[in-house]
Structure 1
Amino acid sequence: MADFKVELADTPEKMSRGLMYRTTLPMDQGMLFVMAPPRIATFWMHNTFVPLDMIFIRLNGEIESIVTREDTLSQERTRSQKPVAYVLEINAGQSAALGIKPGHFIRLQSGRGAGGGS
């Protein structure tokens, strides 16, 4: 079990900016993108200086896939394989270090952030 304090990206403006221009991301923090309605999510590393794990999450909280992006500032796009309701961005490699994998479930708690684990 891992706990993260997350910033919500739940408006078009917040989703567009994401974690751009940040030079650090504390290990216990991340950004949670809310896809309403659930859809194929597309992300890139444009103006993003921090390597990231992108965790694609279904509406029921199940992790659909995880993509590690260490290619900061890249224009290459990453897409979810299926429609997702959320995307959690955390520091690159953190998913593997914590044992977070596709098929695990994420629990969202208002005021406390997102917790990930098996």
Structure 2
Amino acid sequence: MNNKILIIIPVLAVIVVAMLVLQNTISDYDVVAVRDQSFYSDAIKIDDVIIDVQIADTVVKRDRGLMFQEQMPYDQGMLFIYEELGNYAFWMYNMGFSLDIIWFDENGNTVHIKRDVPPCSTEPEYCDVYDPGAKALYVFEATAGFADRFGITEDSKFSWIVDKTS
């Protein structure tokens, strides 16, 4: 009996230590992966407004979004691109400024606008989640006031542009 205990205790200790190391490694990797994402840029139009956007087109980039960034001028934003239509909800964890969030369908039609969404300054589990209540393929985030400043409404349309002068 004592021999079994002498074997079981070290084995359990090794398993516990391995689990703790693995958990810390995964947590550290997630933080680094989220913070170190770089985004490529493109230009879009919403109605007649030309906007330079950072593109978030991977899971990690979409998870990071505009976290850890400073407030942007009104002619800049972030465009989240998804692989398929879905009901994509957003939150404001680790954000430093308020946003306008606009959801678009596969044809560029506005399906929902949420104006002046405040940052979440609490623990993640207490952050509000903003759900469009409709399916979208693209989601655009800009500094709060963007939609009102440029008259963006539920009738507005998003499109890609190649030449910023058009």
Provide TM-score, normalisation by structure 1.
Answer: 0.88
State percent identity of aligned pairs: 30
The structure where strand makes up a greater share of residues is 1
Partner of residue 95, structure 1:
147
Does residue 1:53 correspond to 2:100, yes or no?
Answer: yes
Does residue 1:81 correspond to 2:133, yes or no?
Answer: yes
Indicate conservation of the 8 Å contact 1:46/1:72, yes or no: yes
Q: 1:85 to 1:110 in 2, by over 3 A?
A: farther
- Which has more radius of gyration? 2
Q: Please state whether the residue corresponding to 1:87 is helix, strand or coil.
A: strand
Partner of residue 82, structure 2:
35
Q: 1:21 to 1:111 in 2, by over 3 A?
A: farther
Provide TM-score, normalisation by structure 2.
Answer: 0.64
How far does residue 111 in structure 1 lie from its aligned partner after superposition?
Answer: 7.4
Equivalenced residues, count: 112
The alignment yields a C-alpha RMSD, in angstroms, of: 1.5
The structure where helix makes up a greater share of residues is 2
How far does residue 22 in structure 1 lie from its aligned partner after superposition?
Answer: 1.2
> C-alpha separation between the residues in 2 aligned to 1:77 and 1:69?
14
How far does residue 110 in structure 1 lie from its aligned partner after superposition?
Answer: 5.1
More displaced stretch, 87-96 vs 68-77: 68-77
Partner of residue 115, structure 1:
none
In structure 1, list runs of 5 or more residues that go unmatched: 113-118
Partner of residue 28, structure 2:
none
Does residue 1:62 correspond to 2:114, yes or no?
Answer: no
Indicate conservation of the 8 Å contact 1:3/1:28, yes or no: yes
Residue of structure 2 aligned with 1:7, choices 54, 69, 73: 54
